Amino acid sequence: MVMIIFLHHHIVASLSPLQQKTALFQFKQSLTISPPTICYYKSYSDIMYISPTHPKTRNWSMSSDYCTWEGVTCDHKTGDVIGLDLSCSQLEGTILPNSTLFQLSHLRFLNLSNNDFTNQDSFLSNEFPREFGFFAKGLTHLNLSFTEISGRVPSGISHLHKLVSLDFSCSYHLVQLDDDVFKSLLQNLTRLRVLNLEGVNISSVLPFNLSTSLRVLNLRYTGLHGVLPQEVFHLPNIEFLALRGENNLESLQVVLPKVKWGSSRTLQHLSLQDINFHHECIPDSIGFLDSLTTLSLSKCNLSGPVPKSIGNLGQLIYLGLERNNLSGPILTLLQNLTNLSYLILHENSFTGPFPSSFASTKFIDINLFRNGLTGPLPPGLFDLPSLEKLDLSHNGLTGEVHVFGSSKPHLKSFDSRNNSLHGSNPQTFSHFVNFTRIDVSSYNFSGVLDFKIFSRIEPLKYLDLSHNSLSVRGTAMSTLPPRLHHLGLSSCKLKEFPHFSRDAEILLEYVDLSNNDIDGEIPYWVGSVSLYLNLSQNMLTGGLEHLPWNNIQYLDLHSNKLNGSLSTLICNSGSLQILSLSNNTLSGVLPICQNNLTSLSVFDLRMNNIEGNIPQTLTNFRNLETINLNGNRFKGRIPSSFAEFDSLQVLDLGNNQINDTFPQCLETLPNLQVLVLKSNKFYGGINKSSEVEHPFPSLRIIDISYNNFSGPLPAIYFKDFKAMMNGKVNKLVRSYMEHQYYSDSTNLVIKGNDILLSRILTVFTTIDVSKNNFEGGIPEYLGSLVSLRFLNLSHNHLTGHIPPSIANLTVLESLDLSSNQLEGEVPPQLTGLYSLALLNLSYNKLRGHIPEGFQFNTFENDSYVGNLGLCGKPLSNKCGHDNVTQEEDEEEDDDYFFGGFTWEAVVIGYGCGVVPAFIAGYWMLLARKPKWFAGIIARELGLKVRRMEIKWR
């Protein structure tokens, strides 16, 4: 309190010019000068500027005139310091409450932006200097943007009645503006023209009482919520209006005026982003804003066509409507906008052809990525004199493009991937010496291309020629551009790695050379890749030692000929997120990593020769979502520490030599969706009880086939597979289990065939417990798993009846109960399984009539073979009254036999020789009377043969 009274005394009592000079110099002394950096700042027209920092206070000296100090402005009559601009001055330190800065009571302008005033004092770390609230009562401009000052804005800010401009922007929620301070600030500062609070944590509603003097209002990323008052669109002097929500579209709701706006004559820049318009269309009233130069309505849930009235905006330079649901042709947008330079419409549903002519020839950036545009591109598109960026990717455009033969190499960025465009061999790329980005992947190029055409494009940072019909080649002189960050040459028939010049400082972040014919070892420069490396589907040899383990985030080397063991360097890979080394010849054991590594989410080593036990320390990769070790030589047990994998979704340990009981520890995993333990040496019964209320709550795919499990089916789990009980599964949006750049996959037996699921649908469900020693009955509660698609209980020792409740599985596509000891009839309710494509009930003890109707009419004999008691279609054995008729026919045959052709005659025939006996038998078959003959032979040989079991074709 004493300090505050002291400051008030100095503020009220004006300092002499000499005292002001001393105060300035002491303020400089309280701070340090940091190394030079780049200074970023935005203009109120939202253009980003970059400039180098400059230490303005370095040459301040008490021996010189303070009014000549850089950044200082004085009143020429009184000598008072009235302005201080130290923006981008490399200042670093803490502005304390007793700072001599607050003694400059004559200040009118104060700009401290783009310096680092992070408070290092833990006691004051969350305290915004409250002295800003009551010093310099004549202050008109205060700019503390990008200063790292944190804490609550003092209420005294609202008492600076002369403020015309206030800027606390880009504090990234380090600064908090309480609701009462925010409202009083808007109410009291009636002269305010510029209010820039972007990034300040307000978390309030916008009040109605806004100053009519406002010209600039920037409230992006402030946490505003509720309904935006329409008064904000009718401010009579507003020129710049920017609002942007956070991640939640529901936080701020806006309804645009349907009639003429009050700000229609003044508003030049309108930016509304990440705001919920509730599927509204853009109103026709937008056409009244005839002073508008910038219109940005991105990610606002807008739908429908763009109104024709937008053509009235003759001053419009920037049009950004990206990431909405807007539709219709884009032709109407371009007819009258003669000044348009930026057309940003990506990720919408615009359709129709690309316009054949343009009202504006001033285009700099055209972004139509991911729409529904079709047809050819107009030849004049590439002759626009100012065009620098063109993104047409992910559309349905067709035809030939002649851009690469253009005589005006003005383009800097061109992206046309994923269309049906084609062109000649792009040898003329070398003419575009200003290119920074080229993406013509999936472009239908053909022919042979030499790397040397790119070595001349020094600014090139992004090059992607993937998935063409090109044969890309290189020589010793064919080097890649030195500034390259992104290199995509997948499926380009490469025979060898591309080269860099020996003195190049390699800056690669992304490299995709997959699906080529490259052999040999991985070159040295690969160790410099910092983000993404995909060398899969080649013929690479050697080990893994020279890979960028310390920096890489995504590493895919699957389907090569790599050998050796997995490097212990993985234990220090703090950035690695995806590791895919499947289908190689790696050997050895898994390294034991003692470090806790939280970034790795995918660990895929399937189809190698790795052996030994799975180490307990694998759980140090705490956030693993996929573990796929299928097709190796692992032994031992599943570590109990696997219970710590809270994020695990896929665990595939199939086709190994693991010798263990069922891993009960896995039942606690909340996110586990896929569990594959097939073809191992698991044994014993599966738990009959559990301490977990809902074990395996997310499991959708379980395959424990080809093991030695025994006892009854695991009822404790089957009746509680919650993820298989969703009756609305057919109405769900189809999606895949995948990560960025990686899709989960597994091998399963589906409809009798071993199939690789290269991508796993999130609605895919299967239970496979075949080739074990399970016994007992099939539980009725299987019928509650209504989203189950594939069920295989074959090759066990199951007994009892087929439960009719299986008819509840209305999306079931495959049912295999073969090679068990099931008895009773086939439930007729199963004919209601309209999705059933495969049914296998063979080799059981089933009996009775086979149900008919729907899918059951499509199944062949193989579905029922080995069930001696079954009858009806498709079997030749008839049921019901047909049996009676058949038996009567057979009795008649017996009577015929005993009436005229006795056994003695047969014996006599046998005595006369075997050949005549066979001739007699042959004539009996021709006479179509074989059944009595077979019966007699069987009786004489003492065999018990049932008539229904003898089939004659």
Q: And the tokens for 122? A: 């833990």
pLDDT(74) > 90: yes
pLDDT class of 50 with cuts at 50, 70, 90:
confident
What is the spatial distance between Cα 533 and Cα 555, in angstroms, rounded to a whole number?
Answer: 5
Hey, is 640 helix, strand or coil? Answer: helix
Enter the tokens of residue 442.
Answer: 């999936």
Report the chain's C-alpha Rg in angstroms. 40
128 burial (CB, 10 Å; 0-12 / 13-18 / 19+) is: buried
The single-letter DSSP state of residue 71 is T
**Interacting residues of 953 by C-beta distance below 8 A, sequence separation 6+:** none
Joined tokens for residue 903:
């056994």
- 608 Cβ neighbours under 8 A, 6+ residues apart: 581, 582, 583, 584, 585, 586, 587, 631, 632
Q: Which residue has the tokens 């700042």?
A: 41
Would you state the pLDDT for residue 63? 94
- Determine the average pLDDT of the residues in 886-912: 38
Domain presence at residue 237: no
**Selected residue with higher pLDDT from 43 and 304:** 304
pLDDT at 216: 94
CA–CA distance, 624 with 455 (Å, rounded to integer): 41
Looking up residue 554, the CATH number of its domain turns out to be: 3.80.10.10
Place of tokens 């279609």: 873
Average pLDDT taken over every residue of the chain: 84
Mean predicted confidence (pLDDT) in 929-935 = 41
Collapse the DSSP code of 184 into the 3-class scheme (helix H, G, I; strand E, B; otherwise coil) and give the result: helix
Model confidence at 17: pLDDT above 50: yes
Cα torsion angle, 581, 582, 585, 586, sign? positive
Distances (CA, A) of 371 to 416, 498, 688, 817: 12, 34, 55, 48
Q: For position 818, what pLDDT does the model report?
A: 97
Q: Would residue 817 count as lying in a domain?
A: no
Q: Which residues contact 928 (CB under 8 A, 6 or more apart)?
A: none
Share of the chain above pLDDT 70, in %: 85
Residue 260 pLDDT: 86
| 325 belongs to a structural domain | no
Mean pLDDT of 471-500: 86
Amino acid residing at 845? K
Contact 647, 626 (CB under 8 A): no
Q: CB of 90 within 8 A of CB of 55?
A: yes
Residue 122 in this model has a pLDDT that exceeds 50: no
Q: Which of 34-48, 347-361, 681-695, 760-774 has the lowest mean pLDDT?
A: 34-48
> With pLDDT > 90 as the criterion, what percentage of the chain qualifies?
52
pLDDT bin (cut points 50, 70, 90) of residue 468 is: confident
Instruction: Count helices and strands (H / E) in the chain.
Output: 10, 62
pLDDT confidence of 913, banded at 50, 70, 90?
A: very low
Amino acid at 451: F
Q: Break the chain down into helix, strand, coil percent, rounded to 5.
A: 20, 25, 55
Structure tokens that stand for 560 in this block: 């090569």
How many angstroms separate the CA atoms of 436 and 484, rounded? Answer: 9
Q: Is residue 727 part of a domain?
A: no
Q: Contact 410/385 with Cβ under 8 angstroms?
A: yes
pLDDT band at 740 (very low <50, low <70, confident <90, very high): confident
pLDDT in tens, 571-620: 888 899 999 999 999 999 999 988 888 899 999 999 999 999 999 999 89
Count other C-beta atoms under 10 Å from residue 148's C-beta: 16
Lowest mean pLDDT among 56-60, 327-331, 717-721, 929-933: 929-933
The yes-or-no verdict on residue 4 having pLDDT over 50 is no
Q: Specify burial of residue 653 (Cβ count, 10 A radius: 0-12, 13-18, 19+).
A: buried
According to DSSP, the β-strands at 38-42 and 48-52 are: antiparallel
User: Is 532 a member of any domain?
Assistant: yes
Query: What is the C-alpha to C-alpha distance for residues 574 and 371, in angstroms, rounded to an integer?
Result: 38
Collect all residues with Cβ–Cβ distance below 8 Å to 517 and sequence separation of at least 6: 493, 494, 495, 538, 539
Number of domains making up the chain = 3
Q: The tokens 């061999």 sit on which residue?
A: 425
- Which of 201, 224, 247 lies at the terminal end of a domain, its last residue? 224
Phi-psi region of 625 (alpha: psi -120 to 50; beta: other; left: phi over 0): alpha
Report pLDDT for 892: 41
Residue that wins the pLDDT comparison between 163 and 333: 163
What is the distance between the alpha carbons of residues 217 and 811, in angstroms, rounded to a whole number? 56
- Assess whether pLDDT exceeds 70 at residue 240: yes
Q: Output the six-digit token pair for 257.
A: 């005026």
pLDDT of residue 424: 65
Is pLDDT at 163 greater than 90 in this prediction? yes
Q: Please check the confidence at residue 527 and state whether its pLDDT lies above 60.
A: yes
pLDDT at position 819: 97
Give the separation between CA 657 and CA 634, rounded to whole angstroms: 6
Contact between 640 and 613 under an 8 Å Cβ cutoff? The reply is no
Main-chain dihedrals φ then ψ at residue 505, nearest 5 degrees: -90, 100
pLDDT at 497 over 80: yes
Q: What is the pLDDT of residues 284-317, one digit of tens each?
A: 999 999 999 999 999 998 999 999 899 899 999 9
Last residue of a domain, one of 613, 628, 649: 613
- The amino acid at 403: V
Last residue within a domain, chosen from 613, 635, 663: 613
Asked if the model's pLDDT at residue 912 lies above 50, the reply is no
Q: Is residue 538 part of a domain?
A: yes
| Owning domain of residue 917 | 881-949
pLDDT in tens, 173-199: 788 899 899 999 988 999 999 999 999
Task: Report the interhelical angle of 914-926 vs 903-912 (nearest 10°).
Answer: 130
Quick one: DSSP state of residue 228? P
Residue 159 pLDDT exceeds 80: yes
pLDDT confidence of residue 79 = 93
Q: Which residues contact 7 (CB under 8 A, 6 or more apart)?
A: 97, 98, 102, 103, 131, 135
Instruction: Identify the CA nearest to 651 among candidates 668, 630, 632, 636.
Output: 630
| pLDDT above 60 (res 12) | no
Residue 69 falls within a domain, yes or no? yes
d(CA 215, CA 237) in angstroms, rounded, equals: 5
Q: How many CA atoms lie within 13 A of 315 on its CB side?
A: 15
Asked if residues 340 and 366 have their Cβ atoms less than 8 Å apart, the reply is: no
Mean pLDDT, to the nearest integer, of 439-468? 85
pLDDT value at residue 409: 59
Distance CA 647, CA 641 (A): 14
pLDDT beyond 60 at 92: yes
Task: Give the model's pLDDT for residue 894.
Answer: 42
Distance CA 662, CA 538 (A): 38
d(CA 92, CA 112): 11
pLDDT, tens only, 834-866: 999 999 999 999 999 999 988 899 999 999 999
- What was the pLDDT predicted at 899? 38
With respect to residue 125, please indicate whether it lies within any of the assigned structural domains: yes
Q: What is the mean pLDDT of residues 148-155?
A: 88
Q: Which two tokens stand for residue 742?
A: 């990686």
With beta carbons less than 8 A apart as the criterion, state whether 744 and 759 touch.
Answer: yes
What's the confidence (pLDDT) of residue 742?
Answer: 83
Q: Which residues pair with 448 in a beta bridge?
A: 471
> Of 269, 362, 216, 272, which is closest to residue 45 (Cα–Cα)?
269
C-beta separation of 172 from 201 below 8 A:
no
Q: Which of 646, 691, 650 is nearest to 669 (CA)?
A: 646
Output the pLDDT for position 407: 53
Residue range 747-774: mean pLDDT, rounded: 86
State the average pLDDT over residues 642-662: 95
Arithmetic mean of pLDDT, 169-176: 79
pLDDT at 8: 42
Torsion sign, CA atoms 676, 681, 686, 690? negative
- DSSP helix/strand/coil, 748: strand
CA–CA separation, 577 vs 294, rounded Å?
A: 40
Handedness of CA 662, 663, 669, 674 (dihedral sign): negative
Instruction: Please give the Cα distance from 420 to 424 (Å, whole number).
Output: 14
Q: Are 442 and 464 in contact (CB under 8 A)?
A: no
Lowest model confidence (mean pLDDT) among 474-478, 676-680, 681-685, 739-743: 474-478
Give the bridge partners for 512, in sequence order.
488, 534
Q: How many whole angstroms from its chain centre is CA 26?
A: 53
Structure tokens at 594: 């003692």
Under DSSP, is residue 560 helix (H, G, I), strand (E, B) or coil? coil
Q: Please report the DSSP string for 376-415 in residue order.
A: PPPGGGGG-TT--EEE--SSEEEEE--GGG-S----SEEE
